[in-house]
Amino acid sequence: ETGVTQSPTHLIKTRGQQVTLRCSSQSGHNTVSWYQQALGQGPQFIFQYYREEENGRGNFPPRFSGLQFPNYSSELNVNALELDDSALYLCASSFTDRNEQFFGPGTRLTVL
Amino acid sequence: QKEVEQDPGPLSVPEGAIVSLNCTYSNSAFQYFMWYRQYSRKGPELLMYTYSSGNKEDGRFTAQVDKSSKYISLFIRDSQPSDSATYLCAGDTGRRALTFGSGTRLQVQP
């Protein structure tokens, strides 16, 4: 069974640029959630996707957007990057009828 | 006030000790509670998952939830140096939008 995978591992961008992060969910999982983890903090919920639609959103501005594909993989897009967007971005997958979420290794984004 | 509070530590214990990690929360709607272990620069790993109040045991790990006092605990028996990591607690209302504490850093000294 393949776990959650994310790409790329690391990314460096400059302020104002746009970035796309990718996630492949664990085999059989149809729900994907994205979290932002700043240094020394716990992860913060960004949004969740189910059946290719956003199914819940945390306190993040619209420049954070996402997609889910028919194979349940997902993308997180961030426009107009700000310095405070520097963080570890985590993807988690789960079954719709279960609450356990399994995280990927994360993508570390640095905004200069 | 954060919805989930954790002492950041670091908590340093000798190998073989019993470790007690704790969180308090303020959201009465939380029904599901999780403990994750996170090694440096890695993604969180699910350790324990409980629903509502009560205890759950899995190997060296025991999770306790007391909804009346909004208090959750994780106990680690016979702690090992490999247990050295940051431990994150999280609550969930059922919508699978986890609310995390900021984590407690544990160091198990050989």
3-state class (DSSP) for residue B93: coil
Predicted pLDDT at B77 = 98
Chain B closest CA to A3's CA: distance in Å? 11
> For residues A8 and A107, is the Cβ–Cβ distance under 8 A?
yes
Contact call for B103 and A56, based on CB within 8 A: no
Closest CA to A31 of A91, A106, A105, A86: A91
Closest CA to B37 of B76, B64, B1, B67: B76
Q: What type of residue sits at position A43? A: P
Rounded distance between C-alpha atoms, residue B87 and residue B10, angstroms: 11
> What part of B 65-94 touches A (C-beta under 8 Å)?
88, 90, 92, 94
Q: Which residues contact A19 (CB under 8 A, 6 or more apart)?
A: A11, A13, A77, A78, A81, A109
Say whether residue B32 is in contact with chain A using an 8 A CB cutoff. Answer: yes
The whole-number mean pLDDT for each consecutive block of 10 residues of chain A, a chain of 112 residues, reads 90 98 92 96 96 94 96 96 98 88 96 98
- pLDDT-derived band at B22 (thresholds 50, 70, 90) equals very high
Q: Does B46 touch chain A (CB under 8 A)?
A: yes
Please answer whether residues B102 and B3 qualify as being in contact, where contact means their C-beta atoms are separated by less than 8 angstroms.
Answer: no
CA separation for the pair B91, B97 (Å, rounded): 9
The answer to whether A40 faces chain B, any CB pair under 8 Å, is: yes
- Higher pLDDT residue, B8 or A76? A76
